[in-house]
Amino acid sequence: MALLDKFAAAGAIRDQLSSGGHDPTRVVIDEIISPTEGMVEGRHTILAGTNNYLGLTFDPACIAAGIKALETQGTGTTGSRMANGSFASHAALEQELAGFYNVPYGMVFSTGYAANLGTLVALLKPGDAVLLDADAHASLYDGCQMSGADIFRFRHNDVDSLEKRLQRLGERARDCLVVTEGLYSVLGDCAPLNEIVELKKRYGALLLVDEAHSLGVYGDRGCGVAEAQGVMHDVDFFVGTFSKSLGAMGGFCVSSHAELALIRYVSRPFIFTASPSPSIIASTHEALRQLQARPELRDSLWRNARRLHQGLETMGFDIGPEVSPVVAVRLGRKEVALPFWNRLLENGVYTNLMAPPASPDQNSYIRCSVSAAHTEQQVEKILEMFGRTRETA
C-alpha cells in the first residue's frame, strides 16, 4: 500500500458529505454579524450550532480587554510557557481559575484539546489503569492512549458498568483514574457525578471531570455539573476549555492536588506548545468575570434551552429526555440526516450534523447548541425551520 493510498477512504467520506449540496465540515461563515447571526453564501443565517453558550464573543468588555492586551503586550508570546512565553497574565488567569473552583492550583493550556492531552499524559503512565466513559470526547481518548495506560471503558453514564470495571481491577482500583465529562456535547446529557463520586470514594480512585460544555452553564456560580450536583470538593481534577462559554480559545486544569504544579515539568503538550496570545488571555479573563457577575446570562440561556426542547418535542421530533443547552434531534440514518441538515442551512439555520463515527451510536443527529444571546424570535424561527424542513423532506 502506497503511503497516500489511505486517503481514498477520506475522499469517499468527503464525496458522500458533499452529495447533498454542502459538506458540513467545510461550511464557511463569510461574515459574523453577532453571536447568533452570520452570512453564509449570501444568506442571513441564524447560528444554532456554535457552543457560544453565554454569547460573550461580542461582549464589549471582553473585546476591550483583548484590544488593550494587543496594544500593551503584542500579538503573541512567540514561545512556550517553559521557554519565553509565560507572561504575568497567564499566571493571573491560572490563579483566577483556581479560585473560581475553590482549589489552590491551576494551569492554562493553549487549547482545550491540549489541556486534556497534557493533563492525562502527565497523570498516567504505562501500567496505570484509567476507566473512561465510552462516549468521552476524542481528546480524552487520545490523552489516555498517548499515556500508554491500560484503558477500561465503561458504558456511557452507567454506574453499574463502572463499578464492575472497578471490581475487576481489584487492588489496582485504588490507584486508578476515572475520566468523565460533565455535560456531553452530542446528546446533551449529564454524567451522574454524585453516583460516580460515591464509587470513587468506595474504591479509592481518583476522578477527572471535563467541564468543557458545562462551565458557565450549570451550578449556582456556573462552575459546571459537579457544582450543580454538590460534589465539587470530591473531584480531583477539573479540565475545561475557553472556547465555549468564555468565547475564546484555550484550556485549563485546576486541582486541589499540589502535584498539578509539577505537571508543567513533565507534560509534553504543555512544554512544547506556544502559550496563548495575550489578547486571548485578556478576553478570557474578562469573560470569566462576566460569567460570575452576570447570572442573568444563565437565566436567558436556560429559558431558550427549555423553549427549544419543548418546541421540538411538541412537534414530535425524537430528542433526548434531558433539557440542556445542547439539543440533539435523532434522525437515524445519515442518508436522512444529511439532506435534512442541508435544507436547514438553505433555510437560514446553521446546525451541526453528527453522524457515525462522530456520534456516540450508529444514529445520525442534527445538533443545536443554544445561546443566551438568542432572542425569543430567533428560537421561534429555528423551530419554524425544523417544521418546514420536515414537511419538505
Residues carrying an active site annotation: 185, 213, 244
Cis link prior to 357 (omega < 30° from 0)? yes
Distance between first and last Cα of the chain: 42
Task: Give CA–CA dist 215/114, Å, rounded.
Answer: 17
Pairing assessment for the beta strands 43-47 and 349-350 based on DSSP bridges? parallel
Task: Say which residues have a Cβ less than 8 Å from residue 57's Cβ, sequence separation at least 6.
Answer: 35, 247
Helix axes 278-293, 60-73, angle to 10 degrees: 150
* Buried b or exposed e, range 15-49, using 16+ CB within 10 angstroms: eebeebebbbeebeeeeeeebbbbebeeeebbbbb
In which residue are the cell numbers 470569566 written? 288
**Residue type at position 187:** L
How many other CB atoms sit within 10 Å of the CB of residue 159?
A: 16
- Is residue 237 within 8 Å of 207, Cβ to Cβ? yes
Are the C-beta atoms of residues 37 and 46 closer than 8 Å to each other?
yes
C-alpha cell at 254: 485546576
d(CA 149, CA 346): 46
Helix and strand numbers, DSSP H then E, in the chain:
14, 14
State whether residue 274 is helix, strand or coil: strand
Asked if residues 239 and 214 have their Cβ atoms less than 8 Å apart, the reply is no
The maximal CA–CA distance of the chain, rounded, in angstroms, is: 61
